[in-house]
Copies of this chain bind each other. A is one copy, B any other.
Amino acid sequence: MDPILIPNVSIDCVVFGFDMQDLKVLLVDRDIEHNGVLHHDRKLPGDLIRKDEELDSAACRILHDLSGLQNLYLNQFGSFGGVNRLKSKERDLIWLKQIDHPEERVITIAYYTLINLTSAKEEYILRSNAKWTSLDSLGELAFDHAEIITKAYSMMKQNFKVNPIAFELLPDKFTLSQLQKIYEVVLKTQYDKRNFRKKISQISCIVPINEKQTNVAHKPARLYMFSKDIYEKTRKDNFDFTV
């Protein structure tokens, strides 16, 4: 039996991934045929919530169906309920006719999550027609999804400075250059290497380990890990990352 859905409330997920160069967003392909012409754009992964489903569980279900991944970092960052958010573009109206309640007003609760794209884990093989797209060239998007992604990025940036979420985008073991890169890409800034390292050396939860990079052409760099234990026990109130 199909699950009972709540017609007015959906969940949308902004999945950010970092491949050591670019910040990317996971988008689902959408093809719409109208008067014999095929129109292509993309949408965020999302779904209506089910009658007996917690909000976080719905986000987890959507992400798991999409990627096979579980236990992802989740941040519920806003709700989007513009009266005409689903009706402002003709192709959205055509697409909506395929679903059960095309006339309903849908308010969406949006989450962002962070994934390290460099891990060669098999689970990262995407199960659906979803693709990683650079945040700087998203192309045409469905509904108000461009607005949702803009807000997600803005909230993520703010969070980046006060909470240790950068490490969700990095492999477990990382170099200081990689750490600097993720801060530069997300905050759209440049750091002086020496100042950056001086600042990092004062953060006790970023721990040098007795290992170096392997399989690199250049001189292998020392690896570091983020210790959640030490972070929990040493932070005053927030992670203060203001280089």
Cβ contact of A54, chosen from B54, B83, B161, B237, cutoff 8 A:
B83
Chain A window 199-242, contacts with chain B (Cβ cutoff 8 Å), 1 for yes, 0 for no: 00000000000000000000000000000000000000110101
Q: Is B79 a contact of A54 with CB atoms below 8 Å?
A: no
A28 CB–B CB distance under 8 Å: no
Give the shortest distance, in Å, between A234 (CB) and chain B (any CB).
16
| C-alpha gap A81/B49 in the complex (Å) | 10
Residue of B nearest to A56 (CB): B81
Q: Is A109 a contact of B81 with CB atoms below 8 Å?
A: yes
Cβ contact of A162, chosen from B51, B78, B81, B162, cutoff 8 A:
B162
Chain B residues contacting A51 (CB-CB under 8 Å) are 105
Q: Is B81 a contact of A78 with CB atoms below 8 Å?
A: no
Copies per assembly: 2
| C-alpha gap A7/B7 in the complex (Å) | 10
Chain B residues contacting A79 (CB-CB under 8 Å) are 55, 76, 79, 109
The main secondary structure of chain A at its interface with chain B is mixed
Give the shortest distance, in Å, between A181 (CB) and chain B (any CB).
19
Cβ contact of A9, chosen from B54, B107, B240, cutoff 8 A:
B107
Q: Is B242 a contact of A81 with CB atoms below 8 Å?
A: no
Give the shortest distance, in Å, between A12 (CB) and chain B (any CB).
12
Give the shortest distance, in Å, between A75 (CB) and chain B (any CB).
10
A82 CB–B CB distance under 8 Å: yes
| C-alpha gap A98/B51 in the complex (Å) | 22
Chain A window 34-61, contacts with chain B (Cβ cutoff 8 Å), 1 for yes, 0 for no: 0000000000000001011111000000
Chain B residues contacting A94 (CB-CB under 8 Å) are none
Within 8 A of B (CB), among A81-97: 81-83
Residue of B nearest to A110 (CB): B79
Q: Given that A109-B107, A242-B240, A242-B242 are known contacts, is A83 also in contact with B52, CB under 8 Å in the complex? A: yes
